[in-house]
Structure 1
Amino acid sequence: MPDTIASVSLSDADSDAPGFAQEIGRSFSTYGFAVVSDHGVPSDLIAEADARMREFFALPEAVKRRYFIAGGGGARGYTPFGIETAKDATDYDLKEFWHVGRTLPEGHRFADIMAPNIWPDEVKGFHDVFERLFAAFDRTGQRILSAIATYLGLTPGFFDDTVEDGNSVMRLIHYPPVPADAPGVRAAAHEDINTITLLLGAEEAGLQLLDRNGNWLPVTPKEGELAVNIGDMLQRLTNHVLPSTTHRVVNPPPERRGHARYSMPFFLHFRPDYMIETLPSCISEDNPNRYPEPISAHDYLLQRLREINLV
């Protein structure tokens, strides 16, 4: 097994798909994380999105709160500072965020589950930039899922149908500066709910994962690289063959605490009606089925959103 989190180039999936699948799969099975470069999300689009994100979060609090949907579970628009709380945590996370979801055509079968997006009028180009970034994340996520399927001994296209029109969400996060003597963490220890997460912005120090020996390890992608991790839905589907690893965002060293932290995770989800039922190939005498009762992706999502205080 790898002695460190794999750092892989997604371009290798084109030249050596089986080799790429084994390298990233081993990292996922050991750490639940991998770092991915050459991922296909254009650097100029990332830079433009970063600028629009910062422009939005710099708006007055009263303006941002116009886009907060009470009772919406944070699914779309703005969620103010001090609301989301990690499962079993006592203190809220030190962040505010904005959610962009999948834009569905009128009359789509999931329209009653996946709310329409809302867009801030105050930031020029916000709508266009984040629609394009969502689509780029979606394509990259499907390529990574193809490698995961290969690693699991499934056909490369196994996940294509499971995530088609999936309830994926892109989160724009602002962690404000913290005092030099601030205790605690910016985001408490947690696991992600979804299938896989693709994260931009982790080059600013703070992201850590909890390994099997109980040690916190830093996740340190270079600028523009993605930190990718397994979510609870995929952990459940694979009977923990691929673990959803506990991770957190700690406060930076004192000399960096006057700086804000921005990141853009893309939470790739199964389609709402996909039944998460343990893969037979992930059940064995040494790894008996932990989840004999299947559950739909939508029901599982609602269950978990209640646990983190968003519903």
Structure 2
Amino acid sequence: MSTPIPRVPPYIPAPLTNVNLEYADLPIIDLSKAKTAEGRKLLAKKVVDAMTNQGFFYVINHGYTSEQTKRMFDIANVPFEHVSESEKQDYLAAIKANGSFQGYKPREYFHIDNGVRDQVEHYSINRDVTKREHPQILRPLLPEIEAFAKHNHFNVLHPILRLLALGLELPEETFVEMHRFEAVGESYVRLVKYYPRSADDEEKSKNVWLKGHTDVGTITLLYSQPVSALQVLTSDGRWKWVKHIDNAMVVNAGDGMESLSGGHYRATIHRVVQPPRDQQGYPRVGLFYFAMADDNVRLEPVSQSPVLQRVGIKRRFDEDKTPTMEEWRKARTAAYGQTVLQKVGKIEEERIGNGIIRHYN
């Protein structure tokens, strides 16, 4: 007899916006075509173009049906709407102490601008869901969350990593071998909820909910959702909206992949802003898989790449001070939204170890 699926209160998403927004023109990668060598060769060209130009791309046919994705959004809402504030305190992430987001990041933890703090709450779960305890209501849902983590890791992340390796004319498993599911590392499922803010906070922060930034890890997988708020900084210096595509993923590279690829695949600058007027009263639930290389991987460029040997390597770190993935993710996680930033023109900077992190507003 099969085990019944635990009942989860349905999450009702916002209706699509009717506002005419300027959307980024992002490529769409049909991941079902990555099953053959010829298909991977063709897809690799599109992915390389996306990662060296737009920095973002969509993935469709990733293996989850619309119904499965809807179920995961229902689950994503649970730790915010169905866990008491007192119980949440028992599962706070040790962000500054351990440089880890595992657990709850409470609202108002990040400083945004002019004294305004964030209104985003998230709950992060290591790909190994047994790493720590979870709120009572989430425990029956852990088998589904674990299956979701494995699906993203093996059926989405690994195929994308193979395409990126092909784009550098490297053996297909080059990056896959740096992202082993059973290794010590911090790749995780993140469940997120953005809450509407006051008019006063919107004015003080110029409608910015999260400043322009790059992600810490190698590859970020975001399941598309209908509230328009995500923007990407395009190569011509303009912020453009990322359009919702039903049951698609939005994919971008982070610091780790930029470092490993010798700057060939750029860490994408993106931000979150106030939604358009017809969506401003709605919360925004997010469903992510943040991938990082194994903790012991040093973020050295793959200099054996024939492509990098032709076009040159752009190092993010000094050669003798390159951090491991563990060192970099702990340092960046502990500092994010907490340190005093130095203004350099329109950009704000902070030094983390041997690297400079820029924030764009």
TM > 0.5: yes
Runs of 4+ in 1 over 6 A off after TM superposition: none
**Displacement of 1:90:** 6.7
The letter of the residue matching 2:87 is: V
**Paired position in structure 2 for 1:220:** 243
Q: Distance in 1 between matches of 2:257 and 2:159?
A: 15
Q: Secondary structure of 2:271's match?
A: strand
Answer whether contact 2:27 2:46 (CA < 8 A) is retained: yes
1:171 aligned to 2:197?
no
**Paired position in structure 1 for 2:4:** none
**How many aligned residue pairs are there?**
298
Q: Secondary structure of 2:118's match?
A: coil
**Displacement of 1:98:** 0.2
Q: Deviations over 1:35-68 (max 9, x none)?
A: 1100123433322221122132113322322321
Q: CA RMSD in A?
A: 2.5
Q: Distance in 1 between matches of 2:225 and 2:214?
A: 16
**Paired position in structure 1 for 2:119:** 94
Q: Deviations over 1:67-96 (max 9, x none)?
A: 21444545322111011357x997443200
**Paired position in structure 1 for 2:110:** 84
Q: Secondary structure of 1:194's match?
A: coil
**Paired position in structure 1 for 2:31:** 10
Q: For residues 271 and 78 of structure 1, do their structure 2 counterparts lie closer, same or farther at Cα, with a shift above 3 Å needed?
A: same
Q: Quick one: percent identity of the two aligned structures?
A: 24
1:138 aligned to 2:153?
yes
The letter of the residue matching 1:200 is: Y
**Paired position in structure 2 for 1:306:** 334
1:210 aligned to 2:233?
yes
**Paired position in structure 1 for 2:168:** 152
Q: Distance in 1 between matches of 2:186 and 2:138?
A: 25
Q: Secondary structure of 1:122's match?
A: helix
Q: Secondary structure of 1:36's match?
A: strand
Listed as ranges, the gaps of 5+ residues in structure 1 are 106-115
Q: Secondary structure of 1:266's match?
A: strand
The letter of the residue matching 2:248 is: E
**Paired position in structure 2 for 1:119:** 134
Give the alignment partner of residue 48 of structure 1, picking from 71, 89, 93: 71
**Displacement of 1:169:** 1.4
Give the alignment partner of residue 270 of structure 1, picking from 293, 314, 322: 293
The letter of the residue matching 2:258 is: Q
**Paired position in structure 1 for 2:15:** none
Listed as ranges, the gaps of 5+ residues in structure 2 are 1-23, 340-361
**Displacement of 1:122:** 2.5
Q: Distance in 2 between matches of 1:260 and 1:226?
A: 20
**Paired position in structure 2 for 1:64:** 88
| TM-score, length-scaled by structure 1 | 0.87
Q: Deviations over 1:111-144 (max 9, x none)?
A: xxxxx13221034632222111111111111111
**Paired position in structure 2 for 1:162:** 178
Q: For residues 67 and 306 of structure 1, do their structure 2 counterparts lie closer, same or farther at Cα, with a shift above 3 Å needed?
A: closer
